[in-house]
Amino acid sequence: MRASTPNPVDGTEIAYEVDGDGPPLVLVHGSGLSRGTWRGLGYLRDLQRDFTVVALDMRGHGKSGKPHDAGSYSMELHRGDVAAVLDATGLEPAHYVGYSFGARIGLSMAANEPGRLRTLTTIGGSWAPMNGNIGATFTPDWHDALTTGGMARLVDRWGETIGRPIDPETRLAFMQDDPAALAAFFTAAETGGGLTVAQLDSVEVPTLLLAGTRDVDRHRESQEAARRMPAAVFYSLVGQDHASSLLPVDQVTDLLRTFLETVDA
């Protein structure tokens, strides 16, 4: 089933799809991607065997609404988007799996709306304020690239910055984005959305944190989060950087299933 539902605060439509059978599991992608990323990499086919999977497009991405002002991308609104989808489907509490910015949303929900989540899994996630991480993750001149050359220029500069071409699946996802909406999203993301240490320490939602060994900052922050959170575990994705952390699908889904079985036990 494919549908959309409005965020009740500002009316932005959030597109989502539901398929599979079993306990509810929500997938939230990262910056510049869409729910199609989970399908393209094989996550939907894998996870729908055991879970009722809800995959949504974050605001500014995919088939969801794309406001052009940075004020429309606060963390409170992102949390409200996920909550609106859970309310529309009646599937909560749900297992939550988020990559990159999707992981940030999940951590914020675990700190502020823990009753909506059964568990949380973060892939390449971070709990700290971003403060310049868009430039570090993509390219320092991301704003100029988006405003002068659009998505093609941003993806080219990203590949040049990390020293290798962006994989075709990711490039295709980015090329479908609205440059003005993504620029607004990035602008808001640069300055908001992190947790305080006190908030991190208080998160009691059972949490699995995954990060690539070459994704240095997020690997370190995920390890720290696992030490501080009372019900969290951490595993390394050996050899993966931030952009490639979703690629070892079998490893990620095996770790996820083992974690969820442990929680249920």
Helix runs in 30-141, H state only: 36-41, 43-47, 75-89, 101-112, 133-137
Mean pLDDT on 117-137: 90
pLDDT of residue 173: 86
- Structure-token pair, residue 87: 């309310």
Which pLDDT belongs to residue 142?
94
Omega of the bond leading into 165 within 30 degrees of 0 (cis): no
Residue 35 and residue 72: Cα distance in Å, rounded? 20
Question: What per-residue confidence (pLDDT) applies to 220?
Answer: 95
Residue type, 17: E
More confident residue, 107 or 136: 107
Predicted structure pTM score = 0.95
| 37-68 pLDDT, tens digit each | 999 999 999 999 999 999 999 999 999 999 99
User: Using an 8 Å Cβ cutoff, are 154 and 95 in contact?
Assistant: no
**Separation CA 229–CA 200 (nearest Å):** 6
CA distance 182 to 58: 11
State both tokens at 108.
């914020």
Q: If we measure between CA atoms, which residue out of 47, 65, 49 comes closest to residue 57?
A: 65
Give me the pLDDT at residue 167, please.
84
